[in-house]
Structures are given as structure tokens and as C-alpha cells.
Amino acid sequence: MTDFIQTFLLVCSMVTICVEFANISVYGWFAKEEDIMNYINEYGIFSKNPFNTDILSPSVKEKTFEESIKILTDTRYISIITLSLLSKYQVKGMGLVPKWSKAHRQIKELYKQSKIDGHDFESN
């Protein structure tokens, strides 16, 4: 019986390591917290994508024309990762956001505050 438990734990550990390695391969390594916080502070207001509420993009509402053009040409956005123990969010083009970081808490608040067309949606 103990051989079964040891084998089970070993297989579970290997699967977890493989999934984390796949996430790092797809989304990149952990981004620097300073870079993520600069990105969040640069745009300030984020809104959920109306087609996929797992994606947060900088909002263009109440922005000048020049600011709107800058936002629309920036391809970065924040999205949710479902199969990771070390990170729940990633910023496209920057990397994963570690769960233990201050940026993770800030992004969690952004998801709670974000709206689509003035309607609140459940936060993830």
C-alpha cells in the first residue's frame, strides 16, 4: 500500500512540474514586479474584454485622442491562467505575475473593479 501512495505522490509531483514548465514555456518567466506596476500605473483604468471576461485591457474611455492611440497600439493585456500553482495572471509580452507579489494583489483588485459597458461582472 505504501508503494502505491509513494508512486501516486511521485506521479502527481511530476505532473505538477510538467504543467508549471509548460506555463513558463507558453507565457514566459516571471515578470519583474516593477515593470508590471509601471504598466498598471501608466494606464490606470482597465476594463474587461466584452468577448472574454478573463482579459483586462487598458480602458480608452475618458482619454485624449493621443492617449487612446497609445492604448490601442499597445498589444499588452492582463489575462487569467487556469492551470498554475505559482501564478494566476499573466501580462502578455511581459510574463507571469507571481502569486506572492504586490502586483498580483493589485491585478486582483483591478478584476474586482472592472466593468463592461457600466455593468459589474463577477470577479474571477
Return the percentage of the chain with pLDDT > 70, whole number.
Answer: 91
Average confidence (pLDDT) over 116-120 = 48
CA–CA dist 75, 84 (Å, integer): 23
Average confidence (pLDDT) over 74-95 = 89
Pairing of strands 95-98, 87-91: antiparallel
Residue-level pLDDT at 116: 56
Pick from 80, 97, 84, 88: which is nearest to 39 by CA? 97
pLDDT tier, 9 (very low <50, low <70, confident <90, very high otherwise): very high
DSSP at 100: T
CA–CA dist 38, 105 (Å, integer): 14
Higher-pLDDT residue of 108, 71: 108
Whether the pLDDT of residue 41 is over 60: the answer is: yes
Average confidence (pLDDT) over 66-90 = 85
Boundaries of every domain in the chain: 2-120
pLDDT in tens, 50-64: 788 888 888 777 677
